[in-house]
DNA sequence: CTGAAAGCGCTTACAG
DNA sequence: CTGAAAGCGCTTACAG
């Protein structure tokens, strides 16, 4: 019943100091690897720390102006495996650096609630990574004012020139997907792109058009659709595409998920992939190789992009300037079984 | 060049107090909704808080013994969409409660590194949720000692009787999947289960056996395999299964991902689903309905399970006892196109 | 090399 | 109803 017996909390720095027979500042110095501590003292303190399983309070450190060790990651949603890949890369890199990942999602909102920024401020996050998520200019300004490093991964909307960002070579990806289809002999190649405001959508679409141009195939507005990267939309646009007068013999879906929607619509119509129509995706999510038939797609190194974002954050945290404003990771075409030569005209 | 102009950090409680012409404790009272503050004072303070966009420092609160607002979630891995679903549910529920999610993964380790627990202690997390992840007894004891609430979701290994946990009715799920196949007329029904140490694996397998028993079909060791819930293993076990003397006409894969591996192996062998062989999965991940053919599976409400775990955490945080030690959310059979009547013996 | 002192931003008794 | 005082666990100058 004695209050003193109630203490549940862990060992404190003062405890260590007492046990080691030194002052608190000395323990602090040992912990911070300062050189002005004698060999003997250091050893003694370190032993006691070991024995007690002592862990410094991040709260106290943060309060004293130090780092909280927290990095806020805001993702567009937690529905697509796309995000899972990115988060995996981020989490791995963060863990390796002794940093922790605080995860939030937009939940269908287009902008983070102001509650989110308040959380970032409140918990004293060291940095922020935005994944496919837009943040209003005033929030970005606030982050800057608070000196909180920010990195954007696959920016939604305008990329602020001055915000470091990481993406993939989407233009090249769009180009090579289309070129692949063209080289197989297709001439009616449709594309179902991503959401219009997205930078990567624009780049992929531009790559598609450039490949068409390079092959001397005229761009046909009827064959270009905007989607949302999701299966349902992929299916819907495919149905529309099949009803076009001179229907496409190949569809470049803007994402793997959208490609699965294309599969679905094709199946409904009794069309076979790739015999009747070729399909190419984008992302190379794990599901691409598991699809029936395995999906030809453009791989973007999502997990590595996540790691790269952390890399940039770390530089920023060190006070170093990030060398490049924008880093683009390479995409590559992965040919599987969903693309083939067009059925000869009979 | 003046140091005072350098202050980047945000508004502090002292600033608010000064601007409102009151003391710091008074501001604190207003913030904490204490009743012993006059109407007028309260209004004035609240207005200043608004104007200044003031946000309390979580670090300082945590230090003072309050809550950090952080909940640590440790997941087995960040590879399977299974975790994405669970995390989504957790994140939503946490955000609604004004709590933040700190995410860590096991990275192929079977146990969390001690670094993880140190992080939990260091940042003063309010609670911990373990998803498909085992934590050694001493770590659990440490959490208890620190009075940090813990909830386990889909426990890996032994469930500690005294640790609140949430799962799904796996036994029922295993039973109904098998019963479904049996009722279609199958008699050679194989099962590829999950990892042996997993509680849910055991329950599903038991459900499978019970359904066999109920139908008077003898259990055949040859037709029961343990897997790891992943596609590759599903494919490998399927190949083995097809080589069994009296090969199965239906396969109950322990998870949707494993079922996709089954699809793959079947395709290699030129077998059609469901004409040649029926397949049933478990989980009902988004990918199940997108597969070709759409996968019949047992749905478990992953996101809701995540929400439920948060619900339990909140109770624990309130100091209330959690009513039930273990909550099981209902599973349900979702019949799609991968299951059908067995090919008649010709 | 070591430690006394001040202070980070808050909250909690406790006087008034 | 309001505020002076103490203290949460640490770190950073600054004496000695």
Q: What's the pLDDT band for A52 if we cut at 50, 70, 90? A: confident
What are the tokens at A21? 């027979």
Looking at the DSSP assignment, which residues form a beta bridge with residue A298?
Answer: A282, A333
Q: What is the pLDDT of residue A323?
A: 66
Distance CA A61, CA A48 (A): 20
pLDDT at A158 over 80: no
Q: What's the pLDDT band for A341 if we cut at 50, 70, 90? A: very high
Positions on chain D within 7 A of a protein C-beta: 1-5, 7-13
Q: What is the pLDDT of residue B161?
A: 65
Distance CA B203, CA B282 (A): 13
Q: Which nucleotide is nearest to B63 (CA to C1')?
A: D8
With contacts defined as CB-CB under 8 Å, which chain A residues touch B290? 231, 257, 260-261, 263-264, 287
**Cα distances (angstroms) measured from residue B100 to each of A241, A273, B92, B253, B289:** 44, 44, 10, 35, 32
Q: What's the pLDDT band for A256 if we cut at 50, 70, 90? A: very high
Distance CA A42, CA A77 (A): 48
pLDDT at A173 over 70: yes
Interface mutation vs chain A, best among B103, B108, B131, B310, most A CBs within 10 Å? B103
Q: What is the pLDDT of residue B160?
A: 65
pTM of the model: 0.92
What are the tokens at A96? 């390796």
**Beta strand spans in chain A (E):** 70-75, 100-105, 127-131, 150-153, 165-168, 189-193, 224-226, 250-253, 278-283, 296-299, 326-329, 332-334
Provide the sign of the torsion angle of the four alpha carbons A37, B124, A54, B130, taken in this order: negative
**Cα distances (angstroms) measured from residue A325 to each of A73, A171, A312, B195:** 19, 18, 10, 45
Q: What is the pLDDT of residue A60?
A: 86
What are the tokens at A84? 């899972």
Q: What is the pLDDT of residue A74?
A: 97
Strand D and B12 CB separated by under 7 Å: no
Strand D and A61 CB separated by under 7 Å: yes
CB contact under 8 A, A104 and B100: yes
**Cα distances (angstroms) measured from residue A39 to each of A20, A49, A88:** 14, 15, 41
Across the beta sheet with A332-334, what order do the strands follow? Answer: A224-226, A189-193, A250-253, A278-283, A296-299, A332-334
CB contact under 8 A, A95 and B87: no
pLDDT at A7 over 50: no
What are the tokens at B290? 């997108």
Comparing every residue's Cα with the C1' atom of nucleotide D8, the nearest one is: B64
Q: Of all helices (H) and strands (E), which one includes residue B27? A: helix B24-31
Contact A300, A283 (CB under 8 A): yes
Q: What's the pLDDT band for A114 if we cut at 50, 70, 90? A: confident
pLDDT tens-place string over residues B134-153:
888 888 888 888 889 999 99
Q: How far is B101 from chain A (nearest CA, A)?
A: 5
What are the tokens at B107? 């990275």
Strand D and B23 CB separated by under 7 Å: yes
Strand C and A38 CB separated by under 7 Å: yes
Cα B201 from chain centroid (whole Å): 15
Interface mutation vs chain B, best among A101, A122, A142, most B CBs within 10 Å? A122
Distance CA B233, CA B259 (A): 10
CB contact under 8 A, A8 and B146: yes
pLDDT at A161 over 70: no
Give Rg (Cα) of chain B.
Answer: 26
Give chain A's mean pLDDT: 91
Contact B260, B81 (CB under 8 A): no
By Cβ distance, the residue of B84, B98, B102 closest to A84 is: B84
More confident residue, B317 or A71: A71
CA nearest neighbour of A126 among A325, A314, A324, A305: A314
pLDDT at A5 over 60: no
Q: How many CB pairs under 8 A join A and B?
A: 149
Chain B 233-292 contacts with nucleic strand D (CB below 7 A): none
What is the pLDDT averaged over residues A55-65?
83
Say whether B40 sits in a helix, a strand or coil. helix
Contact B219, B212 (CB under 8 A): yes
Backbone angles phi, psi at B153, to 5 degrees: -110, 125
**CA atoms within 13 A of residue A304's CA, in its CB half-sphere:** 11
CB contact under 8 A, A102 and B102: yes
**Residues written for chain A:** 346
If you search the block for the tokens 């089954």, which residue do you land on? B262
What is the pLDDT averaged over residues A152-178?
89
In terms of DSSP bridges, do strands A165-168 and A127-131 run parallel, antiparallel, or are they unpaired? Answer: unpaired
DSSP B132-196: S----HHHHHHHHHTT--EEEES-BSPPPTTS-EEEE-HHHHHHHHHHHHHHTT-SSEEEEE--T
Contact A199, A159 (CB under 8 A): yes
CB contact under 8 A, A78 and B63: no
Contact A254, A157 (CB under 8 A): no
Peptide bond into B24 cis (omega under 30): no
CB contact under 8 A, A101 and B100: no
With contacts defined as CB-CB under 8 Å, which chain A residues touch B261? 290
Distance CA A227, CA A287 (A): 19
Q: Which residues of chain B have pLDDT under 70?
A: 1-9, 159-161, 323-324, 345-346
CA nearest neighbour of B86 among B235, B267, B303: B303
CA nearest neighbour of B288 among B302, B276, B275, B277: B302
If you search the block for the tokens 């990275």, which residue do you land on? B107
pLDDT at A344 over 90: no
pLDDT tens-place string over residues B35-79:
888 998 999 999 999 888 888 888 888 888 778 899 999 999 999
Distance CA A179, CA A189 (A): 10
Contact A19, B130 (CB under 8 A): no
If you search the block for the tokens 């001493």, which residue do you land on? B138
Q: What is the pLDDT of residue A346?
A: 56
pLDDT tens-place string over residues A75-103:
999 999 999 999 999 999 999 998 999 99
Give Rg (Cα) of chain A.
Answer: 26
């Amino acid at each position: 019943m004695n209050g003193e017996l109630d203490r549940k909390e862990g060992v404190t720095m003062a405890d260590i100091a007492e046990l080691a027979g030194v002052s608190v500042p000395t323990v602090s110095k040992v912990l911070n690897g300062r050189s002005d501590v004698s060999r003997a003292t250091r050893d003694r303190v370190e032993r006691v720390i070991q024995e007690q399983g002592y862990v410094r309070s991040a709260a106290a450190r943060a309060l004293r102006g130090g780092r909280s060790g927290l990095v806020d990651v805001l993702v567009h949603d937690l529905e697509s495996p796309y995000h899972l890949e990115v988060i995996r890369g981020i989490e791995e890199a963060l863990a390796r650096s002794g940093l922790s990942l605080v995860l939030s999602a937009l939940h269908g909102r287009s902008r983070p609630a102001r509650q989110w920024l308040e959380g970032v401020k409140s918990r004293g996050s060291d940095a922020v990574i935005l994944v496919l998520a837009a943040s209003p200019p005033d929030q970005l300004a606030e982050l800057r004012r608070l000196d909180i490093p920010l990195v954007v991964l696959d920016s939604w909307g305008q990329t602020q020139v001055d915000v470091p960002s990481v993406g993939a070579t989407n233009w090249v990806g769009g180009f090579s997907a289309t070129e692949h289809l063209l080289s197989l002999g297709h001439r009616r190649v449709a594309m179902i792109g991503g959401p219009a405001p997205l930078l990567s959508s624009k780049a992929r679409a531009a790559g598609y058009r450039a490949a068409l141009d390079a092959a001397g195939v005229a761009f046909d507005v009827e064959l270009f659709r905007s989607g949302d990267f999701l299966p349902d939309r992929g299916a819907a646009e495919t149905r529309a595409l099949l009803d076009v007068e001179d229907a496409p013999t190949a569809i470049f879906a803007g994402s793997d998920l959208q490609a699965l929607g294309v599969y679905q619509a094709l199946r409904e119509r009794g069309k076979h992939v790739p015999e009747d129509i070729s399909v190419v995706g984008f992302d190379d999510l794990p599901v691409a190789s598991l699809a029936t038939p395995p999906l030809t797609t453009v791989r973007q190194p999502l997990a590595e992009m996540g790691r790269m974002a952390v890399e940039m954050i770390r530089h920023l945290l060190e006070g170093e300037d990030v060398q490049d404003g924008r880093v683009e990771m390479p995409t590559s075409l992965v040919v599987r079984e969903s693309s083939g030569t067009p059925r000869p005209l009979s």
